[in-house]
Amino acid sequence: MTGALSALVLGQDRFHTGFTIPSSDGGLLVEMWDRPGAWVSDEVLAALVSNMRIVAKAGQRGKPVPLYGALLGDRADLARRCLTQVSLKRTGEPIAFCALAYFDIPFGVRMVSVVHLGLLYVTPDHQHRHLSNLLYGASTLLLLMKGGLRGFWISNVSQVPAAVGLTAHHYQDVYPRPDPRARQSFMHLLLARAIVQNHRPAFGVGAEAGFDEARQIITNAYTGGSDELKKTWESAPKHRDPAINEMCRTMLDYERGDDVLQIGRCSIMVVWRLFRSKLPKSAPVQIAWRAFLIVVLGVLSPLARWLVAPDHDVRGRPLHASDDLEVVR
């Protein structure tokens, strides 16, 4: 945590935090790396990728691991992602991960940043422990705190009711979701269009997939690397809310392999929703403590940066000569 705190104070991108949650199997270690491809060593990056592949292999229950996005282990790709992993404290065995991706979408003269709720896996032996809520919830909440509580757009591409329901229940203004009040605003439409046009590789969707803009459904989606994730309706993990399951069953053609593209907002409201959702025991206290520290430091960091004299100007040029100047008479 100390590294993460000093990185926040100094305005660096190197953000890594971790905490332990007590559990009957000796405790769960939750660790989060923001943009690891931009700053971690080759060894650490290789270990992160290997952990994700171990979890994905177990999660695939004998089917090949889908090789796309974060699972490819490409440094440049991992520099645009935020990884959160859960492992058993006692043995170090990795049991779950999520790999969020950052999409920069040009919008007039501005750039809108969308946090994509990327690949999510929990090994079969540890499913139904509410680790999905913990992974998506804690990582987006800590990103919200790190961004000074400024809200951001989120997206999710999935055919799995458990993941679709998680997005619908946790975030705000999510479209589509099974609620008569849910509507597609102009912003939802523009972001959805831009994501499908420019970011297909991030969620393993090939060029041949179609897109139904009004309903935000990607048709024939399992063609660009995610093929092995395609599920039948019967095998797709369901959500506790029957309305979510019914929405997925009626909107998506599981034979063809459709995905729903959900767009929503992550704001301070998600804090309330996250803590009301089912989380592993003691996780809320740990997450709340990290969130508090990050917010406090976010407030104090401009003062700290002002007090610590910088070595470089805003364009990265050194402010001090490296050698003493020689005075020539």
Ligand X SMILES: CC(C)(COP(=O)(O)OP(=O)(O)OC[C@H]1O[C@@H](n2cnc3c(N)ncnc32)[C@H](O)[C@@H]1OP(=O)(O)O)[C@@H](O)C(=O)NCCC(=O)NCCS
87 or 132: CB nearest ligand X: 132
- What does the block give as tokens for 199? 């970011």
- Shortest CB 203 distance to ligand X, Å: 8
Q: Outline where DSSP puts E strands in the chain.
A: 15-21, 28-34, 81-88, 94-107, 110-116, 120-122, 152-158, 172-175, 210-212, 217-219, 259-266
In DSSP terms, which residues pair with 112 in a beta bridge?
105
- Shortest CB 238 distance to ligand X, Å: 6
18 or 237: CB nearest ligand X: 237
- Shortest CB 239 distance to ligand X, Å: 4
- Shortest CB 71 distance to ligand X, Å: 11
7 or 225: CB nearest ligand X: 225
- Shortest CB 312 distance to ligand X, Å: 41
Nearest by Cα to 222 from 207, 235, 202, 205:
205
- What does the block give as tokens for 144? 């919200």
What b/e string do you get for 144-153 counting C-beta neighbours within 10 Å, with b at 16 or more?
bbbeeeeebb
Question: What DSSP string runs through 190-224?
Answer: HHHHHHHHH-GGGGT--TT-EEETTTTEEES-TTS
61 or 317: CB nearest ligand X: 61
- Shortest CB 297 distance to ligand X, Å: 29
126 or 146: CB nearest ligand X: 126
DSSP secondary structure letter of residue 43? H
40 or 264: CB nearest ligand X: 264
- Shortest CB 117 distance to ligand X, Å: 8
Helix (H, G, I), strand (E, B) or coil at 139: helix
144 or 162: CB nearest ligand X: 162
- Shortest CB 226 distance to ligand X, Å: 8
- What does the block give as tokens for 125? 């032996």
127 or 301: CB nearest ligand X: 127
CA angle 32/58/136 to nearest 5° reads 30
- What does the block give as tokens for 316? 């990265």
Query: What is the rounded end-to-end Cα distance, in angstroms, of the chain?
Result: 53
User: Phi/psi class of residue 225: alpha, beta or left (left: φ > 0; alpha: ψ in -120 to 50)?
Assistant: left
What b/e string do you get for 289-305 counting C-beta neighbours within 10 Å, with b at 16 or more?
ebbebbeebbeebeeee
- Shortest CB 163 distance to ligand X, Å: 4
Could you tell me if 9 and 297 are in contact, meaning their C-beta atoms sit under 8 angstroms apart?
yes
160 or 196: CB nearest ligand X: 160
Q: Which residue ranges make up the site for ligand X (CB under 6 A)?
A: 59, 119-122, 127-133, 158, 160, 162-163, 165-166, 229, 237-240, 277-278
